[in-house]
Structures are given as structure tokens and as C-alpha cells.
Amino acid sequence: MANPLKCDLCSKPATVHLTQIVNNKVHKVDLCEACAQAKGVTDPSGFSLADLLLKASLNPEPAATGVRCEQCGFTQNDFKKLGRFGCPACYDTFRSVLEPMLENMHSGTTHAGKVPTRALERKSLYDRLTKLELDLTEAIKSERYEDAARTRDEINQVKQAFNQQATR
Amino acid sequence: MTISSLLETPSELTDSASSKTAIVLMTRVRLARNLAGFSFPGWAKAPQREEVFAKCRDAVAAAPQMKRCFNVAIGELSDLERQVLVERHLISRELSGAKGGAGVIISKDQAFSVMMNEEDHLRIQVLRAGFNLKKAWSTINDLDSTLEDHLDFAFSPTLGYLTACPTNLGTAMRASAMMHLPALVISNQMEKVVRAVNQLGMVVRGLFGEGSDASGSIFQISNQTTLGESEEEIIKRLGSVLQSIVEHELNARAKLLEADAGKLFDKIGRAYGILQNSHLLSSSEAMNLLSLIRLGVDLGAFADGNRSVIDRLFIEAQPGHLQYAQKGEFEPGQRDMLRAERLRAEFANFTRPDFSFNQPEKN
């Protein structure tokens, strides 16, 4: 074997390979027989990969701290410690942690108040513009000039809407 | 605008002509907002904090409500200046302790204040003297919409405005009223009121928010939850809770007069005497004495015009304001002396209380 898997906890050759999905994130661990026994991996009902990983101080890999926000690097452990999130994207990353808390925390679980309509409109125009510009480049590259002309007209329309929104 | 000219300009809180309201001293609404795509202040690295601060600062300073505003990074203020702003409810203690990349913009009349990189990127606040929740909401709503034209706020259609702490999710709005409730305190009913108010989803705090004591019988009552109801619904619900607290306070006053007017007048008369003659006054004792004088004004023992004097003194008797006025820092003992001196001067020409309004009619 070119690169035999080592146990995540003690670096002996790993013979137990485990994959668990928590909060839509995939976690993998490789353990040797002895560690697998010691951590109770052979008893699936009493075993939580997340707990094991959190306690595995020997494991230098980032997965050791559980789910991590891709945007800002915040972990579920950080949330437990601070009670606050790292960035707006954390609300997606930690959705499954947060949702059960909301009912106790608030009088409802769905927003019923003000909506930043103009900002959202601006964002959707911007997203559309970005996509159209990609389409245009693509069309020119593959010499679909009719498509390109149509896309260009659309781009102009969106730009106009964008400017109108800005001056309203 | 500099801090000294800001503090000398007549403000909503210290010079309000609308100090006619007997029980609600002021109303306040604050909104938390964050920029999409940036870490929240507590988690952001220094360069990102600076970037967000600069973006927000530009957008807020450009708003028409902020014409000739006071615009400052927190690091540019001395400890004493920060304390003065905290005592005026214009910045929070948390912002006052912030390091780099944080600041505040305050409108000339001190009605609007926008903190940047406190717990959230933006904490937008409006302060109104008296009981004026609807007006406060509509003015802050306008400022928020103006800012929205220049800033992309982090927002989710299901969770609303996204905030560093999930307890602020949704409307991210905290509406509150500062209430003067001396009769409920004297008759030991506050605990009962706090419990009832909590059950209605509202929170009661002391004068300076979380963890502060209620010296001067002044309490802050605000909504607890922010998700699941619209801003208007929250304000309507809070408004009716406040209204019923006002009624309870008025009832408690009537009962005190009925049961033992002499005892109540004694408290007010003694407060007057101490304010006129004492040479050492701690901040909390001063607050409690001023509270009794304000109650006296409400009952009719002092002229109505004195209410705004008391409201101003509530703020000027605070340690930061006292030291700021003396242009120096003083030990607590010296401060108590200065405070007593200041209040003696203020009460030297204050007309004696007249309790004749409560005399039984003569035949």
C-alpha cells in the first residue's frame, strides 16, 4: 500500500473507517482497533462522531472542531462559547442548530416585519447582470452572434433599470 | 461638530419642552443592521472591521438626518467623553469599551445616534422625549430606508434581518420606554409589575440597561422578542403594556395619598431639604431625592415647569457629567461634594413645596 491510513487518534494503522453525516456535512474518521473499542465506535447507538472529534485533541485536522462556516471559519463550538454567530452566512451553516432554539427565543419562527425591498431589488438586478455578462462572453466565444446581440440588448435593459432604481 | 458643541446644543433629552409627561420620560427605538458578506464585529479581523466602519460611516454621514452631525471614532474620545455619551444614552457601555474600527455618529439634536461595530455593524437609534413610540418608529424607519439605498443589509426572507446574536433576529428592533415609577416602588409593587410584564413578553431593566440598578425609580421597559411579529405589532403591544403600567402607577399614587398623605409629603419635604442643604451626595442618593421632587411636581406640590429641570438634573448628576462640567477627573468622595454643591445651587431658588392641593375642603 502506498499510503496506508493511520488512526486519527494514535497513528497506528487504521482498520475501522467510519463516515457520518451531521447537519448535512460529511465527516470521516479512521481508527485502529484499540481506539475504536475505547471510543465505543462498535456500538453505533452510543457513538457520536462529533463528540469524538471534539475530544480528539491529537487530531490536528480542521474537521476536529465540527461544522465550520465556509464564509468566516466560525464553528459550532464557537457558538456554544460566545452565544453569537460569526457572520450572516452562519445562519445557513448552523441552521439545524438554530432552528430548535428559535421557538423558545421568539414569539414566532418566521419574519413578519420590514423587508429591505429596494436593496433586494438591487441585488437581484445585479445578479442578473452578472449572469447576462457571462452569457454574452460565452455567446461571442462560440460565435453565436444572434444570441450575443439579444443578450446585449437585455444587458442594456437591466442597466437602465439599475440606474432608474438608483435615482428614484 | 465637536463633542463640546454637541453637549452645549439643546437636546431632545436635556432641554425638552415636552417634559410635560408625568410618567414616561422618553421613548427609544433601535434597529440592528449588518452588511451582507462581512463577519459580525465580534468575529471580524481588524482590517475587515475598518473596512465595514468606513463603509457605514460614509453612508450614515451622508443621510439628510445627519446634517452637521457629530461623527467620531471611539478611539478619538477620552474616557470621560465616552462616559458622558453613555450617560446620555447616546452610546452603549459595550461601544465605549470597544477598541479599533468602531465609532458613532450623532445628529445635532441628539435624537439620532448610529453606533458602528458595536455588537452589530450598525445600531441605529432614535430617542424621543415623552411617550412617542409610533413617531419614534416612523422616524427611524425613514433613516433605515435611507441607509438601505447605500448599504446591502444581511437579510433572509424567513429569518429577517440577520444579527450577531440570534435573540435580535427578524425585525432586529428593540423599542423601549424609560418610566418613572416612584409610587410603585414606594408601595413595593415593582416585583409584581416586573413579573406581569415579563409574562407579556416584555423586559424591565434599570436606567442604564442590562444589569444596572433602578436608582431614581426609573425603569426601562422593552420588547423581549423580535422574530414573528411586525414592527408595528411589537410597538402596539409594547404601547398597551406601557399604558397599563402608567395606570398602575397613577393608581398607586392615588392610594398613597389616600392612605397616608402625611408620610408621602414627609418624604418629598425631606428630599427638598436635603437637596437644599446637603454637602455630600452620592449619585444614587441624588437620583432618589430628585425622583421624589419629580413626584412632587406631578402631584402639584411644585410648579409644573420644574419637571424639565429635574429631568436635566437626572443626567447632570451622573458622575461623568459632573466631572465633565468641572473639566477634570475626581475621586468618588470629591464627586459627592461637587454633586451636593451643584444641587444646592440648583435648589437655592427652588420654591418650597406647597401641599395645599390635598387639604380637605373647608365648610
pLDDT at B363 over 60: no
Predicted pLDDT at B26: 92
The whole-angstrom distance between B231's CA and the closest CA on chain A is 6
Domain formed by B3-170, architecture: 2-Layer Sandwich (3.30)
CB spacing of A91 vs B162 below 8 angstroms: yes
Cell 485533541 belongs to residue: A57
Amino acid A64: pLDDT = 40
Tens-digit pLDDT profile for residues A120-150: 888 788 888 889 999 999 999 999 999 999 9
Residue B271: closest CA among B297, B245, B291: B291
pLDDT of residue A58: 42
Within 8 A by CB and 6+ apart from B358, the residues are B257, B261, B265, B299
Cβ within 8 Å, pair B165-A108: no
- What's the pLDDT score for residue B213? 64
B75-131 pLDDT, tens digit each:
999 999 999 999 999 999 999 999 889 999 999 999 999 999 999 999 999 999 889
Per-residue pLDDT band at B7 (split at 50, 70, 90): confident
In 3D space, the residue among B110, B22, B138, B108 whose CA is nearest the CA of residue B315 turns out to be: B110
Provide the pLDDT for residue A9.
72
Q: Does B120 touch chain A (CB under 8 A)?
A: no
Q: Do B228 and A112 touch (CB under 8 A)?
A: yes
Highest mean pLDDT among A47-56, B26-35, B128-137: B26-35
Question: Nine-digit cell at B281?
Answer: 451626595
% of residues, chain B, pLDDT over 90: 83
Q: Which three cell numbers stand for residue A156?
A: 442594456
Average pLDDT of the residues in B284-307: 94
Check if the beta carbon of residue B358 is closer than 8 Å to that of residue B258. Answer: no
Q: Model's pTM, two decimal places?
A: 0.80
| Phi and psi at residue B332, to the nearest 5° | -50, -40
Q: Which of B109-113, B206-210, B253-257, B298-302 has the lowest mean pLDDT?
A: B206-210
Average pLDDT, integer, range B200-222 = 83
Q: In this predicted structure, what is the pLDDT of residue A1?
A: 42
Highest mean pLDDT among A58-72, B261-275, B305-319: B261-275
What is the arithmetic mean of pLDDT over B311-331?
Answer: 91
Most confident of A33-47, B212-226, B265-279: B265-279
Which chain B positions have a beta carbon within 8 Å of A85's beta carbon? 40, 43, 164-166
Under-50 pLDDT residues of chain A: 1-2, 44-46, 55-65
Q: For residue B360, what pLDDT is reported?
A: 63
Counting one residue from A and one from B, how many pairs have CB atoms under 8 Å apart? 112
Question: Are the C-beta atoms of residues B119 and A82 closer than 8 Å to each other?
Answer: no
Domain ranges of chain B: 3-170, 178-363
Residues of A with CB under 8 A from a CB of B: 71-72, 74, 78, 82-88, 91, 98, 101-102, 105-116, 118-120, 122-123
Interface predicted TM-score of the whole assembly (ipTM), two decimals: 0.85
The answer to whether B171 contacts A111, with C-beta atoms less than 8 Å apart, is: yes
**Closest Cβ opposite residue B43 in set A72, A102, A113:** A72
Which residue of chain B comes nearest to A75, CA vs CA? B43
A124 against B353, higher pLDDT: B353
Q: What is the mean pLDDT of residues B133-151?
A: 95
